[in-house]
Chains A and B, each alone.
Chain A
Amino acid sequence: MIANFTGTERYIASQDLAEAVNVALVLERPLLIKGEPGTGKTLLARAVAEQLQRPLLTWHVKSTSRAIDGLYVYDAVQRLQDSRFGDRDIHDIRQYIRFGALGRAFLADAPCVTLIDEIDKADLEFPNDLLHELDAMSFTVIETGDVHTAKVRPLVIITSNNEKELPDAFLRRCIFHFIAFPDPTLMARIVRVHHPLVRQSLLDEALARFYWLRTLPELRKKPSTSELIDWLGALLRGGLDEETLAARIPYLGTLLKKEQDVEAVTRRGRGWARH
């Protein structure tokens, strides 16, 4: 049976995004997801794993991450420790090999979803160092000489915040999808998932406000989906209604995270009243 991802109750996927996931599934290629912060790149992997009922293995990339960390780490320090206290047979190196998220996905008996989160945080060479492993879905543990080849190829989902350009050789091997910022219709559906009880009139007013904020050219950081959801949560808990929203933007700090942006919008305050 061909696996088919359509989006879940908690995760609304556009048709283009669902197609991209399915192409990656069928062709067994890594799926690279880019998009503005807060458009749900990381959540996608969770949703795919949930719908396909596969285990999710996550690898959060840091600026110091090395490509090999995702496959395995040789714990030489533990072995040295053991050699001093003689607890274990230190001649068996295999017990000091710890597998990373990608390594475990290759070893698994059933297909997994592996998330390589924020690949652009690491060094520029990082993606290139993974080329072979992602292509062949196999790796060698240098310390033991063991070759591990994936029995079933996992779906690898890679997210990037666009902090760095990724190498061409890496891009050629990926299926690519850019999550565009949702339009108001899609956004209303996304918000409903998180706040099912919000009144339509309040939601309309809040969305109008939110998209207006995003058009302001002076903002250094535009509010994103996750901030909208937080903001609506705050509005609901604060018991605020449409009239309050028409006069001002309460809890502005939930939407805007930079002081200059808050100031800029406050300066515009009167302009909004005319809208």
Chain B
Amino acid sequence: MTPDAPPDGDLGELGESLFLEFFYLLRRNGLPVTTREWLTCVEALDRGLVAADLKRFYAIARATLVKNERYYDLFDQCFTHFFLGAEAPRALVKAVDEWLADPLPMPSLSPEELAAMERLDLDELKRRFEETLREQDERHDGGSKWVGTGGRSPFGHGGVHPSGMRVGGEGRSRSAVQVAAERRFRDYRSDLVLDTRQIGVALRKLRQLGRNELRTELDLDLTIEATAKNCGDLDLVMRPPRDNELKLLLLMDVGGSMDPFAMLVSRLFSAAHAASHFREFHALYFHNCVYENLYKSARLNDGMGTLELLRWLSPETRLVVVGDAHMAPYELTARNGAIDYFQNNDEPGFVWLDRLKRHFTHSVWLNPLSQRMWGHPTITLVGQIFPMFELTLDGLEAAVRALSAPNPRARG
């Protein structure tokens, strides 16, 4: 900090209008910056905190404008874009991210490509892809053009020459733009995958709706206080019990097309399981679609009747189904359409799904596939039965909000 810097730093009027443009760039890209926060930032500039140091401006603008680490990455991108103009716009980057994050096996993969895919994990793949993208930018090829030549399987990047990669461990005197361009905070984005802790935090929000508003429990501390204030005459204070009334049923699709998401689903399960605040928590498995049986283990060998389950679960139990809803249409629409040959279901899958939906007052479907993939016929059909959300932090939070909504069947 330089206490003797002029109050306006070296910004001047030009600087201020420039930074105002930056403010609008942030807003255009979906960063929820309010005017008040902008004024706080300007105040910091006015106090000469920034001087003419871009690195400082980066730190101070972020501290005053961004209030959640999930937007750090977006801020970094905007910053790079604004002060260097070298990064692709957000929509493009998001599309690319989704494209790369989508682990659906492409039918056109050659054995060589498959082998390459197995050698590289997703992060490595993304990193290389970004390096390539950056290289392209440096050669002044438009980012959009590069992606526009698409149609290439993302796994083809295994063939990208590693010589194009920048070797890490640069000197400590990097510029702000370089630091921002590193995108160190991309893991904190809310539209990427989840870890157990984040899922736990999201599920905890379900707790709020569990409060039973009947005041039936004695609040000892407040009673003592109230009694003392009441000159010693007993004054009982009651409060609603704090324990959660919420019951949760988690149904998980396993096997087949869900294999790439097995880790993600198991995280969701362990987070829900560890959340001790549900009054009841049941987790059951199915394969592709729900029929007359559900299974207690992911090996699908200890079944229980779906109808029986519905008999002993009250309608206010919250139903969360996790699955890609990606199946052959007949699995959903035909009698005996179940993927397991010996299943012989008398009623088609969508009748069972509809039955589940009708039984519970609140239900959601979490889909690990990105929304871009939801055009598939069975996903569309399932999406018409259940409100469907992406299995990302944003999606999970939206799902929890839907589950916490007032009972849609209650009147008045």
Residues of A within 8 A of B (CB): 1-2, 4, 15-16, 19-20, 22-24, 26-27, 29, 32, 34, 64, 76-77, 79-80, 83-84, 124, 162-165, 171-172, 174-178, 180, 217-218, 220-221
Contact = CB atoms under 8 A, between A and B. Distances in A.
Contacts of A180: 69, 184-185
Interface string B161-202: 000000000000000000000001100100000001100010
Interface in B197-236: 197, 201, 204-205, 208, 221, 224-225, 227-229, 231-232
Contact of A178 (B34, B69, B201, B208): B69
Interface stretch (B43-51, B87-95, B103-111, B251-259): B43-51
B1 interface: yes
A66 to B, nearest CB: 10
Interface string B24-66: 0000000000101100100110010100000110111011101
Contact of B49 (A16, A22, A177): A22
B276 interface: no
Contact of A20 (B1, B63, B201, B208): B63
The 5 closest A-B pairs by CB, nearest first: A76-B228, A19-B59, A178-B69, A20-B63, A171-B67
B263 interface: yes
Contacts of B263: 217-218
Contact of B62 (A16, A26, A79, A174): A16
A176 B67 contact: yes
Nearest to B226: A76
A208 to B, nearest CB: 14
B225 A76 contact: yes
Interface of B: 1, 3, 34, 36-37, 40, 43-44, 47, 49, 55-56, 58-60, 62-64, 66-69, 72, 184-185, 188, 196-197, 201, 204-205, 208, 221, 224-225, 227-229, 231-232, 263, 270, 274
27 contacts: A1-B3, A15-B55, A16-B58, A16-B59, A16-B63, A19-B63, A20-B60, A23-B63, A27-B43, A27-B44, A29-B40, A77-B225, A77-B228, A79-B228, A80-B232, A84-B232, A163-B201, A163-B204, A164-B204, A164-B205, A175-B63, A177-B63, A180-B69, A180-B184, A218-B263, A220-B270, A221-B196
A26 B44 contact: yes
Contacts of A83: 231
Contacts of B64: 23, 175-176
Contacts of B1: 2, 4, 22
Given A1-B3, A77-B224, A164-B205, 9 more contacts: A15-B55, A26-B47, A76-B228, A76-B229, A80-B227, A124-B208, A175-B40, A176-B63, A220-B196
Contacts of B228: 76-77, 79-80
Contact of B69 (A15, A22, A34, A79): A34
Contacts of A27: 40, 43-44, 47
B66 A176 contact: yes
Contacts of A164: 201, 204-205
Nearest to B66: A176
Nearest to B168: A183
Nearest to A171: B67
Contacts of A163: 201, 204
Contacts of B231: 80, 83
Nearest to A80: B228
Contacts of A26: 44, 47, 49
Contacts of B221: 64
A36 to B, nearest CB: 9
Nearest to A177: B63
A154 B337 CA distance: 69
B204 A2 contact: no
Contacts of A76: 225, 228-229
Contacts of A34: 69
A15 B67 contact: no
A19 B66 contact: no
B18 to A, nearest CB: 20
A178 B196 contact: no
Given A171-B67, A172-B67, A180-B185, A19 B204 contact: no
Nearest to A21: B63
Contacts of B188: 178
A218 B270 CA distance: 11
Contacts of A24: 63
B188 to A, nearest CB: 7
Contacts of B232: 80, 84
Nearest to B36: A172
Nearest to A124: B208
A165 B190 CA distance: 13
A29 B44 CA distance: 11
A17 to B, nearest CB: 9
A153 to B, nearest CB: 15
A4 B173 CA distance: 21
A76 B233 CA distance: 13
Most chain A CB within a 10 A radius of its CB, from B49, B63, B274: B63
A19 B40 CA distance: 14
Contacts of A23: 44, 49, 60, 63-64
Nearest to A26: B47
Contacts of A220: 196, 270, 274
A163 B275 CA distance: 12
Nearest to B56: A19
A172 B225 contact: no
B409 to A, nearest CB: 27
B59 A174 contact: no
Contacts of B185: 178, 180
Contacts of A32: 67
Contacts of A19: 56, 59-60, 63
A95 to B, nearest CB: 15
A220 B199 CA distance: 11
B110 to A, nearest CB: 27
Contact of B59 (A15, A84, A162, A172): A15
A171 B66 CA distance: 9
